Structures are given as C-alpha cells and as structure tokens.
Structure 1
Amino acid sequence: MSGVQRAAVLLMSLGEADAAQVLKHMSAKEVQKLGMAMATMQNVTRTTVEHVMGEFVEELREQTSLGVGADDYVRNVLVQALGEDKASGLIDRILLGRNTRGLDNLKWMEPRAIAEMIRNEHPQIQSIVLAHLDSDQAADVLKVLPERTRGDIVLRIARLDGIPPHALNELNEVMEKQFTGSQATRSSNVGGIKVAANIINELDTTTEQLVMSSISSVDSDLGGQIRELMFVFDDLGNLDDRAIQTMLREVPNDKLGLALRGGDPKVKEKILKNMSQRAAQILQEDMEAKGPVRLSEVEEAQKEILGIVRRLADEGQLQMAGKSEEML
C-alpha cells in the first residue's frame, strides 16, 4: 500500500469525528488525496487494518521518546510524514503562529477561479499568490492567465526572497475580503528559484518552453539557474536502480509505455534494465502493438510519471539527483 492508502486506512479506523479533526490540520491537496483514497478503498481486511495501526503505533513510540520536546515532536512527525519542503509551511503555521488564511483558502479553489480573481492584480501580487500555491495548482493557474504575462510572473516568483510582514498582511486582507477573518501576519518565505522551477516542471512542454524563453530573454543567468533545478523526464536516466524500481511499483504500465516513446533512449534502457525480462518484453510488445500516438499523449504521460517521482521523493522513498549533482 502507498503512504496515502495507509493514511486513509488509519483515518477510516479512527471514526468520523476523530478523522475530521485530523483533516482540519491538513492542506487542501492532502485532504483531496486522502479523500480520493478513502473513497476508492474496497475490501480492506482486518489484517491490513491491524498492520497499518501497528506501523502507526510503532512510529509514534519512536517519535515520543523521553527528552523530546513538544515542538520537536511535532516538527519531526510532520517532516517524516510530508517531507521537509511540504512540512515547512505547516510547521510555520502550527509552531510559529503564522496566519495566511486568505491565501490558504485559494488552495481549495479551481485554478480558473483563482486566475479570474487575480487577473487584474499587479504581476507582483500574482507572483506572490502563485508562489504560495502548490506547484501543480500554480501551474494550472498560470496556464489560464494571458500568455504575455506568464514569463514575467514566473520571473518575479524566482526573484522573490521573502515577503515583508506588512506586504503579506495587505495581500492577506485583499484575499480575506472574499472570505472571513483577519489577523496579523509574520513575514513569510515564499517564492524563489526552486519554487519557480517546480511550477515550470508542472507545465506542458509548449508552455514550459515559452515561459523559459521569456525568462531567459530578460535574465539569462536566472533562466539558467531555474533550468538547473528543473527535473525533466530525461533526468530519470540519472536515478539509481533502487529509485527506478521504487518508481516502477507506482507507475501504470500503459502510462510507462506512452512516456517511453519520447525522450532520451538511455531512460528507456535504464527502465527496462530494472524490470524482469518478462515484464520488459511485454512492455516492448505493447509499445509496438499500439502504433502511432499523439505527442500530447506522450507529454501528458511523462508529466504524470514525473509527478509520481516527485511525490515519492517528498515521501522520502527515493532521491532525485539534481542536475548540478550529476555534473560533479
């Protein structure tokens, strides 16, 4: 079972009231993933439930040893559960009392609705909003915004280096007008080159090329730095065998066959090497039998696989080698 499925089993075992209390502390994206997992759960055996509960209790026992303070406990559990990057924002809100409810509410909205809300705002405001969203949601919003503004917005995201408290407060108040409540907000570290790279990673190939071209025409050095941090399908060839095998357990064969029709041949070679001889043969036969496919289908499959790889990396199940590392 995947980590999300185990979490779903645990929540369903807790009962409605307790599960609801847990979900209140999760992000929109996490709730959506767990909700989907719970909705598709079928025929979960008592043995499976007992196994999941046992793993949870054992993890809890290890994390609550004597000498560990409450803050450290919360921080450790969240980092182990969500990964360093995803946990950092939640840790800020829980331990540091940060409040960005106006912005956080956007995470529950459809990308097109967010785009309409910020369409007439200054590009700097648009960049802060997108930097605060999860990368895949930000990419979907960016695709809906006018093409002429996309490069400028991502450029501003890459140049963000923290937001002063008063600026974040003002932005939060603008967003809160659509919702309710208001409180003082501390400074927040959103944006930066890595955030920009993550958002671009989620774009389709055509949009990605247009955005990168726009950024490089304004600041070629910054464009180069963003490109160095981007993880594309061809980079799968740099993963070690264990990481490839972990990935293969999560990727559907039909998506894998589609994705391998494009990109570097060494990626295909690496993946086939880490499959059983029979599985590799079946995959190749399926690819040959399918015939010609649209480039958009290949790109969509590659993006889906990259999303799985990033999720596994966030969960600590594999390491993604950066481009700067592979060149050393």
Structure 2
Amino acid sequence: MTDNGKLTKIDKAAILLLSLGEGDAAQVLRHLGPKEVQKVGIAMTQMTNVHREQIESVMTDFVELVRDQTSLGVGSDAYIRSMLTKALGEDKAGGVIDRILTGESSNGLDSLKWMEARDVADIIRYEHPQIQAIVVAYLDPDQAGGVLSHFDEKTRLEVILRVSSLNTVQPAALKELNAILEKQFAGNTNTSRTNLGGVKRAADIMNFLESSMEAPLMEAIKSVDPDLSGKIEDLMFVFDNLNDVDDRGIQALLREISSDILVLALKGADDRLKAKVFKNMSKRAAELLKDDLDSRGPVRLSEVENAQKEVLAIARRMADAGEIVLGGKGGEEMV
C-alpha cells in the first residue's frame, strides 16, 4: 500500500467504500458510472494493508465510524462481490465482477460500457459505419466521445451524421450486432425497438470531444448539412452555459465537485461564472477558492478542458436525475 502522500483519488474512494458497510457502499456505487465502478473495484481488490492513519487522512468526516478499525486487509473478494451485486443487480454485476476479480472480460453490446474507449474503437474500427454508429449511440456520451477521438476525421464525421439520423433500432439489428460481438442479445426476436441516437445524442457526444476535434467536426457537419449543425450546436451544453443555471442548481452542483477539479475548471472560466460560483459558496469557502485560484500557476489547456468536461458530466447526470435544471432546458423551479 502506498503512503498517504501518494494515495490517488481512486485509492481514497476505495478506502472509503471498504470502510463503509455493504449497504451504504452499494448506495454510493449506484451513483457512479461503469468506468468509475470498475476503477474503484479494481483498487479495492489491490488494498492489502490500509492502516488507521491512512483511513483517518482519507476520511476525516468518518473517523468515528472507523475508530475501532486498525486495518483493512486482504480477502475482500466476497465483500466486493456482494456489494457490487447489491449496487448493480445480479445480471449487470456479473460482467463487471468477472472483469474486476478474475480479469475475465464479458462479451456483448452492454459489456462495451465497461471497456476503455480505445479498446471499443479497436473492436469496431473495421465494421460498417452504421454498426459503428449504433455502438457509439449505445455508449454513454463521455465514452462515445472517447471512442470517436480514436477515429480519423472522415470516420468521425460519418459516424456522428449517422448517430444524428438514428431514432430506433430493430431488434434483429441489435441481435446481429450482438452476434458480431460474440454474445446473443438479451431477450428474443419479439423484443421491442430500442431508442438510440438522434440529434440530442450527437450533441451530447460532441460535448465530450476535445476542442481540437470538436471544431473541425462541427465545420464538417456544417458543410454537409448546415441545418443539422445548427440543431446540434443549439443542444450542446458547454461550460459557459453554467451561467444560466439557477443559484440552487449551482449550490447542488458544487456539493458534488471536488475542490481540485473546481479550481482547474475555473482557471478557464470567465469572470461572470467565477462570480456566480463564489456567490453560491460560504464566505470562507469562497475565500479559500480564490486563494487557490490565485496561487495556482499556469496549467495546460488540456487539463482545464478535462476538468470542465468532468464538471459538465456531473451536471448532466444531475439534470437527468431531476436534481438540477440546466440552462435552455425549461428553467422550471426545482422543488
């Protein structure tokens, strides 16, 4: 086990979850995405001797809960298996448990969500563009954006155009795709059509592309279909759009963002958005944040963009859960 100063965020999350009861840990995992669950799960299996001092440094707010513990040791496979099953359900947990505990990979369309974007891109690289579009539309937007980043410009344009025009996919097509992925699709030939793709999905995926890829792709879409590019731009939610989120929404969002990510994200924000964030924090917290921003030296643009994308991912997840309302999506007051 590494010393306190070298603990990664994933290590700290693993220590926290291993310190909680299975039920509470499962509740936390329900709010994580597939890749996050896999990373934390792998970290938990690698925990060998987490001493009391390390636990207290990671979980100052939970010291009383772990006061009688001296270490978290080896042999936690049964705990992890039970916790993941409670969090994800038996069907969904099966694949990820195998990947985490045994290193075995599961097959099928759904299992792609548990893979790295580069691996998914390699799997579908030589498939027909329509197959690529169905896979990309099926993935979560951040992972889909990662997959597109491993294709050339021509393929990115072809796939995003096809994603935009997708509405529903016939069960037979999904079964054929799963056969290609070496796993039969769950259900039977009478399975109802699956909603995939559309302009909104294309916009969500575009949100997760690096700026260096997003701009030329948007220009390429505009040259092919100006009307479509306008619709996609209207639906894209970028970091500056947080200015349109109400104060209650900003407060809820700030509770979900780590201070390190917030500082990096705000390095590239305009003064108006910074003022909005400061306004929705306690005076003490705002002063600390300002100090962190002032003391932080120059950072790479890519680091700022990645931090902003992480904040946007959290914002979209909260919006989907009805916890906040993003600008341009109705503006209803939350109750």
What pairs with 1:205-216 in structure 2 (closer than 5 Å)? Answer: 205-216=211-222
What pairs with 1:78-93 in structure 2 (closer than 5 Å)? Answer: none
What pairs with 1:65-76 in structure 2 (closer than 5 Å)? Answer: none
In structure 2, the residue corresponding to 1:263 is in which secondary structure?
coil
Partner of 2:228: 222
**CA deviation digits over 1:241-288, x for unaligned, max 9?**
111111112222232222222233321111111122232222222222
Task: Verify: 1:132 aligned to 2:141, yes or no.
Answer: no
Instruction: Specify which of 272, 295, 299 is matched with residue 278 of structure 2.
Output: 272
Compute the displacement of 1:188 (Å).
1.2
Q: TM-score, normalised by structure 2?
A: 0.67
Instruction: Specify which of 287, 290, 299 is matched with residue 284 of structure 1.
Output: 290
Cα distance between partner residues in 1 of 2:140 and 2:276: 30
**CA deviation digits over 1:274-325, x for unaligned, max 9?**
1222322222222222232222222122112112222322333322222676
Task: Verify: 1:106 aligned to 2:112, yes or no.
Answer: yes
Instruction: Specify which of 150, 154, 164 is matched with residue 158 of structure 1.
Output: 164
Partner of 2:71: none
Letter in 2 for 1:175: L
Q: Is the 8 A contact 1:232 1:306 kept in 2?
A: yes
**CA deviation digits over 1:198-250, x for unaligned, max 9?**
11111222222122222122111111111111111001101111111111122
Cα distance between partner residues in 1 of 2:145 and 2:284: 38
Instruction: Specify which of 13, 18, 30 is matched with residue 22 of structure 2.
Output: 13
Pair 32,219 (structure 1): closer, same or farther in 2 beyond 3 Å: same
In structure 2, the residue corresponding to 1:102 is in which secondary structure?
coil
Partner of 2:127: 121
Partner of 2:249: 243
Task: Verify: 1:297 aligned to 2:289, yes or no.
Answer: no
Cα distance between partner residues in 2 of 1:158 and 1:180: 26
Partner of 1:169: 175
Partner of 1:200: 206
Percent identity between matched residues is 49
Q: TM-score, normalised by structure 1?
A: 0.68
Q: Is the 8 A contact 1:261 1:298 kept in 2?
A: yes
Compute the displacement of 1:46 (Å).
8.7
In structure 1, the residue corresponding to 2:163 is in which secondary structure?
helix
Compute the displacement of 1:144 (Å).
0.9
Letter in 2 for 1:156: R
In structure 1, the residue corresponding to 2:181 is in which secondary structure?
helix
Partner of 1:62: none
Cα distance between partner residues in 2 of 1:257 and 1:234: 15
**CA deviation digits over 1:107-158, x for unaligned, max 9?**
2222222111111112111000111111111111111112221122111101
Instruction: Specify which of 136, 146, 157 is matched with residue 152 of structure 2.
Output: 146
Compute the displacement of 1:29 (Å).
4.6
Q: Is the 8 A contact 2:109 2:181 kept in 1?
A: yes
Pair 226,324 (structure 1): closer, same or farther in 2 beyond 3 Å: farther
Letter in 2 for 1:113: D
Cα distance between partner residues in 2 of 1:313 and 1:323: 9
Question: Could you list the runs of 5+ residues in structure 2 that have no partner in the other structure?
Answer: 1-12, 67-86, 93-106
What pairs with 1:32-43 in structure 2 (closer than 5 Å)? Answer: 32=38, 35=41
Cα distance between partner residues in 1 of 2:210 and 2:171: 34
Partner of 1:184: 188
| Highest RCO, 1 vs 2 (Cα 8 Å, sep ≥ 6) | 1
**CA deviation digits over 1:92-117, x for unaligned, max 9?**
xxxxxxxxx72112222222221111
Letter in 2 for 1:138: A
Letter in 1 for 2:209: L
Question: Could you list the runs of 5+ residues in structure 1 that have no partner in the other structure?
Answer: 49-80, 83-89, 91-100
Pair 315,183 (structure 1): closer, same or farther in 2 beyond 3 Å: closer
Query: In proportion to residue count, which structure has more helix?
Result: 1
Partner of 1:59: none
Q: Is the 8 A contact 2:268 2:304 kept in 1?
A: yes
Q: Is the 8 A contact 2:174 2:185 kept in 1?
A: no
Q: Is the 8 A contact 2:164 2:202 kept in 1?
A: yes
Task: Verify: 1:318 aligned to 2:324, yes or no.
Answer: yes
Pair 264,316 (structure 1): closer, same or farther in 2 beyond 3 Å: same
Cα distance between partner residues in 2 of 1:181 and 1:244: 40
Pair 219,284 (structure 1): closer, same or farther in 2 beyond 3 Å: same
